Structure 1
């Protein structure tokens, strides 16, 4: 009798396919790695993240004749427009000491937050060719775009320092507080960018809605006016509404930078437990946003 050989199971259902894959050591292509593995792979791509961010920043104004000068001019021109509308026409500057440093600091710090949200929304959808052609941790894209916005903020801070000095706000030891405040804001920006990257990858129409949401968020974050003075100027607004506006992350990071850089902005103008909020918002959004993005890792670039 001729010897018999075991034949592989006929792949008639998912159980048979799983057994067949296990027998020959096959694994699912593009399967989501574990969270520690994902962090390790992301760290191994750190040079790609920094290079990609720098390249995007360099190319952003490559077609403009003024080139990288627009990295400073864009937020500065926004500040000039807001100063004319809110400071001059609406008279906001009468109630706020050092209004120009107050306004410029708010505009520059807010621009970092809003640009990170906007860039994160399009991080996956605008790079579909790269996502489908290469295998790499997809979180590299929103993180690199946040790093790009941080690099651009450094240019803006150089202009901010000059403006502060020109209006009598000279460097002092208290300015060191801007470093931890900016670090916490960067964690927050990275986290919300990751969240928006997943939402934008699944529903691209969100990118069309975001400018309206960001505009409302800006007006409620005290970029051009003082949230702290809202309670005394509008008696009909409940205290809990004022406190919610003061404690939301957009306002917190702006106020902490003003507290660090402007002499006339005192501790009474920042919300209670301000440093706990500064760190808490950053950690909450970074950890939560990272896990939220990682859980959909295998779906990016498909469909």
Structure 2
């Protein structure tokens, strides 16, 4: 009970908060402050990503060797189904490296999307207990998949080195990976927000990514295949706008000299534009719901 000496509203929570300069812990901060706070938690993001990588293979007998074995087994299945049975390897030099580069690049984005869509839902207890930028969780998932991608790239370098030889063009893989990682951060943040409020997205994403898989020129060269059916040039240009096709193309032309004859038009430009647009759009889209994550 307030005493007669207390001013009116002295026990009102809003009045007390205003009097002592308090604010809600879950309030959405300005975007520039949010980005600074996100940067200050970079060590947490790195540690959390390493912990997830360790936990992923801790119970397996082969341990972290699955980081190499998993992409190889996937590539073997696709090589048998598409390269041998459907004959898509015909007319493509070094089809093994051609196929592996496409699978590795696509899987990097696919897993970021599927794992990122569950990143907040699987960590609700952490979100409701501690105050931190929620974007750190999807970012940790992207770093975890980037680690897997780097392991896959090392394997790909060995294969290309034995089959095509070492070339200075390999250096172009680094900026290609930077651009795709930027794109993956943006699209993962989008999937993370959608997955938090629409739980069915985890059931829908496999169908979306599977369709995307077949439309990205992973098992065959898009320009060569369209030339076989005498498709108009504008069809190639439209299909080239697919961001995954662009990232696959710039990685392939960095590794395989023979791929230059069938490269997509303006792939580097398309990859750069998609990277920056998706990164900015994803950050803003995720940030706008920052004060809603973790609510029951």
Distance 2:294 2:232 in 1: 46
Are 2:196 and 1:201 aligned?
Answer: yes
Corresponding residue for 1:128? 124
Match of 1:264 among 258, 263, 277: 258
Match of 1:156 among 152, 157, 172: 152
| TM value normalised by structure 1 | 0.91
Match of 1:89 among 85, 102, 109: 85
Question: Does structure 2 conserve the Cα–Cα contact (< 8 Å) formed by 1:230 and 1:242?
Answer: no
Corresponding residue for 2:8? 8
Match of 1:215 among 199, 210, 213: 210
SS in 2 for 1:264: helix
Corresponding residue for 2:31? 35
Question: Does structure 1 conserve the Cα–Cα contact (< 8 Å) formed by 2:249 and 2:267?
Answer: no
CA RMSD of aligned residues (A): 1.8
Q: CA deviation at 1:81?
A: 0.8
Corresponding residue for 2:278? 285
SS in 2 for 1:95: coil
Are 2:229 and 1:234 aligned?
Answer: yes
Question: Does structure 1 conserve the Cα–Cα contact (< 8 Å) formed by 2:25 and 2:131?
Answer: no
Distance 2:208 2:235 in 1: 18
Distance 2:150 2:179 in 1: 15
Match of 1:57 among 50, 53, 57: 53
Q: CA deviation at 1:58?
A: 1.1
Corresponding residue for 2:170? 175
Q: CA deviation at 1:20?
A: 5.5
Distance 2:132 2:291 in 1: 11
Distance 1:272 1:92 in 2: 22
Question: Does structure 2 conserve the Cα–Cα contact (< 8 Å) formed by 1:75 and 1:156?
Answer: yes
**For residues 33-74 of structure 1, what are the alpha-carbon distances to aligned partners after superposition, in whole Å with 9 as ceiling and x for unaligned?**
111111111111100000100110111111111111111111
Question: Does structure 1 conserve the Cα–Cα contact (< 8 Å) formed by 2:240 and 2:265?
Answer: no
**For residues 198-254 of structure 1, what are the alpha-carbon distances to aligned partners after superposition, in whole Å with 9 as ceiling and x for unaligned?**
00011111011101110000110111111112321224x554343222221111101
Distance 2:220 2:152 in 1: 20
SS in 2 for 1:252: helix
Distance 1:82 1:37 in 2: 46
Corresponding residue for 1:189? 184
Corresponding residue for 2:100? 104
Question: Does structure 1 conserve the Cα–Cα contact (< 8 Å) formed by 2:182 and 2:276?
Answer: yes
**For residues 165-189 of structure 1, what are the alpha-carbon distances to aligned partners after superposition, in whole Å with 9 as ceiling and x for unaligned?**
23x2211111111111110000001
| TM value normalised by structure 2 | 0.94
Unaligned runs of 5+ in 2: none
Are 2:291 and 1:301 aligned?
Answer: no
SS in 1 for 2:89: helix
